[in-house]
Structure 1
Amino acid sequence: MEMSTAEQRVIEQLQQYPQKRARIQALSTYSVGAGLTISRLDEDDQLQELHRRLRGLPSYMYLSEKEQRLETTAHAYLTRYPAGLKAQLEAIPTMGADVEDDKLLQELRRKIKKVIDARGCNVDDLAEVLERVAELQDLVSEVNWIDNVLDLLEKYKPGYPRLLRMIYFENMTNQEIVDKMNVSKTTLHRLRKKAEIEYIALAK
Protein backbone atom coordinates (compact mmCIF):
# COMPACT_ATOMS: atom_id res chain seq x y z
CA MET A 1 0.00 0.00 0.00
CA GLU A 2 1.47 3.32 -1.10
CA MET A 3 1.72 6.28 1.23
CA SER A 4 -0.32 9.41 0.65
CA THR A 5 1.42 12.73 0.04
CA ALA A 6 0.75 13.80 3.63
CA GLU A 7 2.21 10.56 4.97
CA GLN A 8 5.28 10.93 2.76
CA ARG A 9 5.84 14.43 4.15
CA VAL A 10 5.78 13.04 7.68
CA ILE A 11 8.43 10.46 6.83
CA GLU A 12 10.48 13.18 5.14
CA GLN A 13 10.45 15.02 8.48
CA LEU A 14 12.26 12.07 10.01
CA GLN A 15 14.66 11.80 7.08
CA GLN A 16 15.56 15.50 7.29
CA TYR A 17 15.98 15.52 11.08
CA PRO A 18 19.78 14.98 11.12
CA GLN A 19 20.33 17.69 8.51
CA LYS A 20 18.17 20.12 10.46
CA ARG A 21 20.09 19.36 13.65
CA ALA A 22 23.35 20.05 11.84
CA ARG A 23 21.98 23.29 10.39
CA ILE A 24 20.91 24.41 13.87
CA GLN A 25 24.45 23.88 15.12
CA ALA A 26 25.88 25.79 12.17
CA LEU A 27 23.49 28.71 12.63
CA SER A 28 23.99 28.79 16.40
CA THR A 29 27.70 29.50 16.01
CA TYR A 30 27.37 31.98 13.13
CA SER A 31 29.08 35.21 14.17
CA VAL A 32 27.41 38.56 13.62
CA GLY A 33 30.36 40.49 15.04
CA ALA A 34 31.11 42.11 18.39
CA GLY A 35 31.40 38.66 19.97
CA LEU A 36 27.75 37.83 19.30
CA THR A 37 26.38 34.71 17.64
CA ILE A 38 22.97 34.05 16.11
CA SER A 39 22.00 31.80 19.02
CA ARG A 40 22.92 34.56 21.49
CA LEU A 41 20.65 36.98 19.64
CA ASP A 42 17.86 34.42 19.61
CA GLU A 43 18.22 33.72 23.32
CA ASP A 44 18.27 37.38 24.33
CA ASP A 45 14.56 37.48 25.15
CA GLN A 46 14.93 40.41 27.54
CA LEU A 47 16.48 42.58 24.84
CA GLN A 48 13.78 41.60 22.36
CA GLU A 49 11.05 42.32 24.90
CA LEU A 50 12.58 45.72 25.68
CA HIS A 51 12.72 46.50 21.97
CA ARG A 52 9.05 45.58 21.56
CA ARG A 53 8.10 47.82 24.48
CA LEU A 54 10.14 50.75 23.25
CA ARG A 55 8.58 50.57 19.80
CA GLY A 56 5.19 51.08 21.43
CA LEU A 57 6.25 54.16 23.40
CA PRO A 58 6.70 57.76 22.24
CA SER A 59 10.40 58.44 21.69
CA TYR A 60 10.59 61.20 24.31
CA MET A 61 10.04 58.55 26.99
CA TYR A 62 13.27 56.69 26.26
CA LEU A 63 15.46 59.04 24.18
CA SER A 64 17.57 61.83 25.61
CA GLU A 65 16.98 65.39 24.42
CA LYS A 66 19.96 65.16 22.08
CA GLU A 67 18.79 61.81 20.70
CA GLN A 68 15.36 63.31 20.08
CA ARG A 69 16.99 66.08 18.03
CA LEU A 70 18.84 63.44 16.02
CA GLU A 71 15.59 61.57 15.42
CA THR A 72 13.78 64.74 14.36
CA THR A 73 16.59 65.69 11.98
CA ALA A 74 16.63 62.20 10.47
CA HIS A 75 12.88 62.32 9.83
CA ALA A 76 13.24 65.75 8.24
CA TYR A 77 15.87 64.65 5.72
CA LEU A 78 15.07 61.01 5.03
CA THR A 79 12.74 60.37 2.10
CA ARG A 80 12.84 56.60 2.61
CA TYR A 81 13.60 54.25 5.50
CA PRO A 82 15.62 51.26 4.23
CA ALA A 83 15.99 48.20 6.46
CA GLY A 84 19.73 47.60 6.20
CA LEU A 85 22.24 49.56 8.24
CA LYS A 86 24.49 50.25 5.26
CA ALA A 87 21.49 51.31 3.20
CA GLN A 88 20.44 53.63 6.03
CA LEU A 89 23.92 55.13 6.11
CA GLU A 90 23.76 55.82 2.38
CA ALA A 91 20.27 57.33 2.70
CA ILE A 92 21.39 59.99 5.18
CA PRO A 93 22.58 63.15 3.37
CA THR A 94 26.00 64.55 4.20
CA MET A 95 24.84 68.16 4.18
CA GLY A 96 21.89 69.83 5.88
CA ALA A 97 20.11 73.14 5.50
CA ASP A 98 22.30 74.81 8.11
CA VAL A 99 25.39 74.23 10.24
CA GLU A 100 23.42 72.73 13.14
CA ASP A 101 21.72 70.21 10.86
CA ASP A 102 25.09 69.39 9.29
CA LYS A 103 26.44 68.46 12.72
CA LEU A 104 23.40 66.36 13.61
CA LEU A 105 23.46 64.49 10.30
CA GLN A 106 27.17 63.80 10.64
CA GLU A 107 26.64 62.48 14.16
CA LEU A 108 23.80 60.27 12.96
CA ARG A 109 26.05 58.86 10.24
CA ARG A 110 28.79 58.23 12.81
CA LYS A 111 26.38 56.36 15.07
CA ILE A 112 25.19 54.08 12.27
CA LYS A 113 28.75 53.48 11.07
CA LYS A 114 29.76 52.58 14.62
CA VAL A 115 27.07 49.89 14.73
CA ILE A 116 28.24 48.52 11.37
CA ASP A 117 31.86 48.45 12.53
CA ALA A 118 30.88 46.79 15.83
CA ARG A 119 29.33 43.93 13.90
CA GLY A 120 32.75 43.17 12.48
CA CYS A 121 31.53 43.50 8.89
CA ASN A 122 30.55 39.81 8.97
CA VAL A 123 27.02 40.65 7.94
CA ASP A 124 26.20 43.16 5.24
CA ASP A 125 22.71 43.87 6.37
CA LEU A 126 20.58 43.58 9.48
CA ALA A 127 17.95 41.85 7.35
CA GLU A 128 20.38 38.96 6.80
CA VAL A 129 20.85 38.55 10.55
CA LEU A 130 17.10 38.54 11.11
CA GLU A 131 16.65 35.95 8.36
CA ARG A 132 19.17 33.67 10.04
CA VAL A 133 17.53 34.14 13.44
CA ALA A 134 14.13 33.32 11.89
CA GLU A 135 15.58 30.23 10.19
CA LEU A 136 17.09 29.08 13.48
CA GLN A 137 13.79 29.54 15.29
CA ASP A 138 11.89 27.62 12.60
CA LEU A 139 14.36 24.74 12.62
CA VAL A 140 14.35 24.49 16.42
CA SER A 141 10.55 24.45 16.35
CA GLU A 142 10.48 21.69 13.72
CA VAL A 143 13.05 19.55 15.54
CA ASN A 144 11.28 20.01 18.87
CA TRP A 145 8.01 18.97 17.23
CA ILE A 146 9.55 15.71 16.01
CA ASP A 147 11.11 15.03 19.42
CA ASN A 148 7.77 15.70 21.09
CA VAL A 149 5.91 13.31 18.78
CA LEU A 150 8.48 10.59 19.46
CA ASP A 151 8.17 11.18 23.22
CA LEU A 152 4.39 10.83 22.99
CA LEU A 153 4.74 7.68 20.91
CA GLU A 154 7.04 6.17 23.52
CA LYS A 155 4.28 6.46 26.13
CA TYR A 156 2.00 3.94 24.44
CA LYS A 157 4.32 2.18 21.99
CA PRO A 158 7.60 1.71 23.84
CA GLY A 159 10.49 0.85 21.57
CA TYR A 160 9.04 2.33 18.39
CA PRO A 161 10.72 5.74 18.79
CA ARG A 162 14.08 4.08 19.45
CA LEU A 163 13.68 2.03 16.27
CA LEU A 164 12.80 5.12 14.22
CA ARG A 165 15.78 6.98 15.64
CA MET A 166 18.13 4.16 14.69
CA ILE A 167 16.73 4.10 11.15
CA TYR A 168 16.40 7.81 10.42
CA PHE A 169 18.62 9.68 12.86
CA GLU A 170 21.55 7.33 13.36
CA ASN A 171 21.49 5.99 9.79
CA MET A 172 22.08 2.42 10.96
CA THR A 173 21.89 -0.41 8.44
CA ASN A 174 19.29 -3.16 8.71
CA GLN A 175 21.98 -5.60 9.75
CA GLU A 176 23.22 -3.30 12.50
CA ILE A 177 19.69 -2.87 13.82
CA VAL A 178 18.97 -6.61 13.61
CA ASP A 179 22.12 -7.35 15.59
CA LYS A 180 21.33 -4.68 18.18
CA MET A 181 17.71 -5.74 18.66
CA ASN A 182 18.41 -9.46 18.28
CA VAL A 183 15.54 -9.97 15.84
CA SER A 184 15.23 -11.32 12.31
CA LYS A 185 15.13 -9.07 9.25
CA THR A 186 11.51 -10.10 8.68
CA THR A 187 10.60 -9.01 12.20
CA LEU A 188 12.51 -5.76 11.73
CA HIS A 189 10.62 -5.03 8.52
CA ARG A 190 7.30 -5.63 10.28
CA LEU A 191 8.25 -3.50 13.29
CA ARG A 192 9.44 -0.68 11.06
CA LYS A 193 6.13 -0.56 9.21
CA LYS A 194 4.19 -0.52 12.47
CA ALA A 195 6.41 2.18 13.96
CA GLU A 196 6.05 4.37 10.87
CA ILE A 197 2.27 3.95 10.85
CA GLU A 198 2.01 4.93 14.51
CA TYR A 199 4.31 7.92 14.03
CA ILE A 200 2.38 9.12 10.98
CA ALA A 201 -0.90 8.86 12.91
CA LEU A 202 0.47 11.27 15.52
CA ALA A 203 2.43 13.63 13.30
CA LYS A 204 0.34 14.19 10.18
Structure 2
Amino acid sequence: MDNKQVESLVRDAARRYRSIGVQAKALGNYSIGGGMTVSRLNQEDQLQDLHKRLRSMPSYMYLNAHEQKLETVAHAYLDKYPSGTKAQLAAIPKKGADLEDDRLLRELRSKVEKVVEARAGRQGDYDAVLERMAKLQALLEEKEQTDEAVRLVEEEREGFGRLIRLYYMEQRTADSAAMSLCVSRPTFFRWKPQAARMFLRVLEWQRG
Protein backbone atom coordinates (compact mmCIF):
# COMPACT_ATOMS: atom_id res chain seq x y z
CA MET A 1 0.00 0.00 0.00
CA ASP A 2 1.17 3.51 -0.69
CA ASN A 3 1.21 6.25 1.96
CA LYS A 4 -2.13 7.66 0.81
CA GLN A 5 -3.90 4.31 1.27
CA VAL A 6 -2.27 3.78 4.67
CA GLU A 7 -3.34 7.24 5.82
CA SER A 8 -6.90 6.61 4.65
CA LEU A 9 -7.09 3.42 6.74
CA VAL A 10 -5.66 5.19 9.80
CA ARG A 11 -8.22 7.98 9.40
CA ASP A 12 -10.97 5.34 9.23
CA ALA A 13 -9.69 3.79 12.47
CA ALA A 14 -9.59 7.22 14.13
CA ARG A 15 -13.17 7.96 13.01
CA ARG A 16 -14.25 4.62 14.41
CA TYR A 17 -12.51 5.44 17.71
CA ARG A 18 -14.35 8.76 18.02
CA SER A 19 -17.65 7.10 17.08
CA ILE A 20 -17.13 4.48 19.80
CA GLY A 21 -16.70 7.25 22.36
CA VAL A 22 -20.02 8.84 21.37
CA GLN A 23 -21.89 5.50 21.28
CA ALA A 24 -20.46 4.39 24.63
CA LYS A 25 -21.50 7.65 26.25
CA ALA A 26 -25.05 7.36 24.87
CA LEU A 27 -25.38 3.73 25.99
CA GLY A 28 -23.84 4.47 29.38
CA ASN A 29 -26.30 7.29 30.06
CA TYR A 30 -29.36 5.07 29.41
CA SER A 31 -31.45 5.07 32.58
CA ILE A 32 -32.61 1.73 33.99
CA GLY A 33 -34.53 3.29 36.89
CA GLY A 34 -33.82 4.04 40.52
CA GLY A 35 -31.24 6.64 39.52
CA MET A 36 -29.10 3.89 37.95
CA THR A 37 -27.60 4.02 34.44
CA VAL A 38 -26.11 1.26 32.29
CA SER A 39 -22.67 2.79 32.84
CA ARG A 40 -23.08 2.66 36.62
CA LEU A 41 -24.39 -0.89 36.44
CA ASN A 42 -21.35 -1.82 34.37
CA GLN A 43 -19.16 -0.54 37.21
CA GLU A 44 -20.93 -2.74 39.78
CA ASP A 45 -17.76 -4.64 40.67
CA GLN A 46 -16.05 -1.36 41.56
CA LEU A 47 -19.07 -0.33 43.63
CA GLN A 48 -19.02 -3.64 45.48
CA ASP A 49 -15.37 -3.06 46.35
CA LEU A 50 -16.28 0.41 47.59
CA HIS A 51 -19.10 -0.99 49.74
CA LYS A 52 -16.68 -3.49 51.29
CA ARG A 53 -14.31 -0.67 52.19
CA LEU A 54 -17.13 1.48 53.58
CA ARG A 55 -18.35 -1.34 55.81
CA SER A 56 -14.98 -1.35 57.55
CA MET A 57 -15.19 2.41 58.24
CA PRO A 58 -17.27 4.24 60.88
CA SER A 59 -20.42 5.60 59.22
CA TYR A 60 -19.78 9.21 60.28
CA MET A 61 -16.89 9.24 57.78
CA TYR A 62 -19.19 8.83 54.75
CA LEU A 63 -22.75 9.70 55.92
CA ASN A 64 -24.04 13.22 56.48
CA ALA A 65 -25.85 14.13 59.72
CA HIS A 66 -29.34 13.34 58.37
CA GLU A 67 -28.22 10.00 56.93
CA GLN A 68 -26.70 9.12 60.31
CA LYS A 69 -30.11 9.78 61.92
CA LEU A 70 -31.72 7.36 59.44
CA GLU A 71 -29.03 4.80 60.21
CA THR A 72 -29.62 5.21 63.97
CA VAL A 73 -33.39 4.73 63.69
CA ALA A 74 -32.85 1.69 61.44
CA HIS A 75 -30.54 0.10 64.02
CA ALA A 76 -33.04 0.88 66.78
CA TYR A 77 -36.12 -0.63 65.09
CA LEU A 78 -34.79 -3.43 62.88
CA ASP A 79 -34.12 -6.75 64.61
CA LYS A 80 -32.57 -8.21 61.45
CA TYR A 81 -31.26 -6.87 58.15
CA PRO A 82 -32.69 -8.92 55.26
CA SER A 83 -30.88 -8.71 51.93
CA GLY A 84 -33.82 -8.38 49.50
CA THR A 85 -35.42 -4.96 49.05
CA LYS A 86 -38.98 -6.29 49.50
CA ALA A 87 -37.93 -8.11 52.68
CA GLN A 88 -36.26 -4.91 53.89
CA LEU A 89 -39.49 -3.01 53.26
CA ALA A 90 -41.53 -5.53 55.24
CA ALA A 91 -39.06 -5.36 58.14
CA ILE A 92 -39.43 -1.59 58.63
CA PRO A 93 -42.13 -0.84 61.25
CA LYS A 94 -44.78 1.75 60.40
CA LYS A 95 -44.80 3.38 63.84
CA GLY A 96 -41.98 4.58 66.04
CA ALA A 97 -41.69 5.59 69.68
CA ASP A 98 -42.32 9.27 68.91
CA LEU A 99 -43.20 11.64 66.05
CA GLU A 100 -39.56 12.15 65.03
CA ASP A 101 -39.01 8.38 64.76
CA ASP A 102 -42.30 8.07 62.83
CA ARG A 103 -41.03 10.63 60.31
CA LEU A 104 -37.63 8.97 59.93
CA LEU A 105 -39.19 5.51 59.53
CA ARG A 106 -41.55 6.86 56.84
CA GLU A 107 -38.57 8.32 55.00
CA LEU A 108 -36.70 5.02 55.31
CA ARG A 109 -39.71 3.11 53.93
CA SER A 110 -40.05 5.63 51.12
CA LYS A 111 -36.43 5.13 50.04
CA VAL A 112 -36.80 1.33 49.94
CA GLU A 113 -40.20 1.60 48.18
CA LYS A 114 -38.63 3.67 45.40
CA VAL A 115 -36.03 0.97 44.76
CA VAL A 116 -38.71 -1.79 44.70
CA GLU A 117 -40.91 0.30 42.40
CA ALA A 118 -38.05 1.13 40.04
CA ARG A 119 -37.01 -2.51 39.78
CA ALA A 120 -40.55 -3.79 39.25
CA GLY A 121 -41.32 -1.07 36.71
CA ARG A 122 -38.25 -1.94 34.67
CA GLN A 123 -38.57 -5.74 34.83
CA GLY A 124 -39.85 -5.90 31.26
CA ASP A 125 -36.77 -4.01 30.08
CA TYR A 126 -34.35 -6.49 31.68
CA ASP A 127 -33.27 -8.07 28.37
CA ALA A 128 -32.83 -4.62 26.81
CA VAL A 129 -30.60 -3.57 29.71
CA LEU A 130 -28.45 -6.70 29.36
CA GLU A 131 -28.19 -6.11 25.61
CA ARG A 132 -27.08 -2.51 26.18
CA MET A 133 -24.56 -3.62 28.80
CA ALA A 134 -23.10 -6.22 26.43
CA LYS A 135 -22.83 -3.65 23.65
CA LEU A 136 -21.25 -1.09 26.00
CA GLN A 137 -18.66 -3.63 27.17
CA ALA A 138 -17.85 -4.58 23.56
CA LEU A 139 -17.40 -0.92 22.61
CA LEU A 140 -15.19 -0.23 25.63
CA GLU A 141 -13.06 -3.28 24.80
CA GLU A 142 -12.64 -2.09 21.20
CA LYS A 143 -11.72 1.41 22.43
CA GLU A 144 -9.19 -0.04 24.87
CA GLN A 145 -7.69 -2.13 22.06
CA THR A 146 -7.14 1.01 19.98
CA ASP A 147 -5.67 2.84 22.99
CA GLU A 148 -3.34 -0.12 23.52
CA ALA A 149 -2.24 0.06 19.87
CA VAL A 150 -1.33 3.74 20.35
CA ARG A 151 0.62 2.85 23.52
CA LEU A 152 2.52 0.09 21.71
CA VAL A 153 3.43 2.44 18.85
CA GLU A 154 4.69 5.00 21.38
CA GLU A 155 6.77 2.30 23.10
CA GLU A 156 8.30 1.24 19.80
CA ARG A 157 9.10 4.77 18.68
CA GLU A 158 8.81 7.73 21.05
CA GLY A 159 6.55 10.45 19.64
CA PHE A 160 4.84 8.26 17.04
CA GLY A 161 1.99 7.16 19.32
CA ARG A 162 1.38 10.73 20.43
CA LEU A 163 1.37 11.84 16.79
CA ILE A 164 -1.37 9.30 16.02
CA ARG A 165 -3.45 10.48 18.97
CA LEU A 166 -2.98 14.21 18.38
CA TYR A 167 -3.27 14.37 14.60
CA TYR A 168 -5.67 11.55 13.75
CA MET A 169 -7.76 10.91 16.85
CA GLU A 170 -7.99 14.42 18.29
CA GLN A 171 -7.94 15.98 14.80
CA ARG A 172 -5.34 18.60 15.68
CA THR A 173 -3.79 20.57 12.85
CA ALA A 174 -0.30 19.61 11.70
CA ASP A 175 1.12 22.79 13.27
CA SER A 176 -0.64 22.17 16.60
CA ALA A 177 0.44 18.51 16.70
CA ALA A 178 4.03 19.41 15.79
CA MET A 179 4.09 22.04 18.53
CA SER A 180 2.79 19.54 21.13
CA LEU A 181 5.43 17.05 20.00
CA CYS A 182 8.12 19.78 20.13
CA VAL A 183 9.26 19.02 16.57
CA SER A 184 9.52 21.10 13.40
CA ARG A 185 6.99 20.87 10.56
CA PRO A 186 9.47 18.98 8.30
CA THR A 187 10.10 16.45 11.09
CA PHE A 188 6.35 16.07 11.69
CA PHE A 189 5.64 15.34 8.02
CA ARG A 190 8.57 12.92 7.91
CA TRP A 191 7.25 11.08 10.97
CA LYS A 192 3.59 11.02 9.91
CA PRO A 193 3.68 8.25 7.25
CA GLN A 194 6.03 6.15 9.39
CA ALA A 195 3.75 6.48 12.44
CA ALA A 196 0.66 5.68 10.35
CA ARG A 197 2.24 2.48 8.97
CA MET A 198 3.39 1.40 12.42
CA PHE A 199 -0.06 2.03 13.91
CA LEU A 200 -1.80 0.12 11.11
CA ARG A 201 0.61 -2.79 11.55
CA VAL A 202 -0.15 -2.99 15.30
CA LEU A 203 -3.91 -2.92 14.60
CA GLU A 204 -3.48 -5.80 12.14
CA TRP A 205 -1.50 -7.78 14.75
CA GLN A 206 -4.27 -7.24 17.30
CA ARG A 207 -6.97 -8.44 14.93
CA GLY A 208 -5.00 -11.56 14.06
Q: Which consecutive aligned stretches of 4+ in structure 1 deviate over 6 angstroms post-superposition?
A: none
Matches within 5 A, 1:1-204: 1=2, 3=5, 11-45=11-45, 117-119=117-119, 125-204=125-204
Q: Secondary structure at the match of 1:32?
A: strand
Shift of 1:174: 1.7
Shift of 1:177: 2.1
Partners of 1:202 and 1:161 in 2: CA distance: 11
Shift of 1:165: 0.7
Query: Would the alpha carbon gap of residues 30 and 120 (structure 1) be closer, same or farther in structure 2, given more than 3 Å must change?
Result: farther
Is the Cα contact below 8 Å between 2:149 and 2:199 reproduced in 1? yes
Shift of 1:183: 4.1
Shift of 1:116: 9.3
Query: Would the alpha carbon gap of residues 9 and 192 (structure 1) be closer, same or farther in structure 2, given more than 3 Å must change?
Result: closer
Q: Secondary structure at the match of 2:5?
A: coil
Is the Cα contact below 8 Å between 2:34 and 2:118 reproduced in 1? yes
Partners of 1:181 and 1:116 in 2: CA distance: 54
Is the Cα contact below 8 Å between 1:17 and 1:143 reproduced in 2? yes
Is the Cα contact below 8 Å between 1:11 and 1:200 reproduced in 2? no
Unaligned runs of 5+ in 1: 47-113
Is the Cα contact below 8 Å between 1:178 and 1:184 reproduced in 2? yes
- More off after superposition, 129-138 vs 20-29: 20-29
Identity %: 33
Partners of 1:127 and 1:165 in 2: CA distance: 36
Under a length normalisation based on structure 2, what TM-score does the superposition of the two structures give?
0.54
Partners of 2:172 and 2:123 in 1: CA distance: 39
Q: Secondary structure at the match of 1:172?
A: coil
Shift of 1:38: 0.5
Aligned Cα RMSD in Å?
3.3
Letter in 2 for 1:33: G
For residues 97-149 of structure 1, the C-alpha deviation after alignment (integer angstroms, 9 at most, x for no partner) is xxxxxxxxxxxxxxxxx999424857962222122111110111001101111
Q: Who is 1:102 aligned against?
A: none
Partners of 1:129 and 1:3 in 2: CA distance: 40
Q: Secondary structure at the match of 1:3?
A: helix
Shift of 1:199: 0.8
Query: Would the alpha carbon gap of residues 175 and 154 (structure 1) be closer, same or farther in structure 2, given more than 3 Å must change?
Result: closer
Q: Who is 2:79 aligned against?
A: none
Letter in 1 for 2:5: M
Is the Cα contact below 8 Å between 2:159 and 2:181 reproduced in 1? no
Unaligned runs of 5+ in 2: 47-113
Query: Would the alpha carbon gap of residues 167 and 30 (structure 1) be closer, same or farther in structure 2, given more than 3 Å must change?
Result: same
Query: Would the alpha carbon gap of residues 167 and 120 (structure 1) be closer, same or farther in structure 2, given more than 3 Å must change?
Result: farther
Q: Secondary structure at the match of 2:42?
A: helix
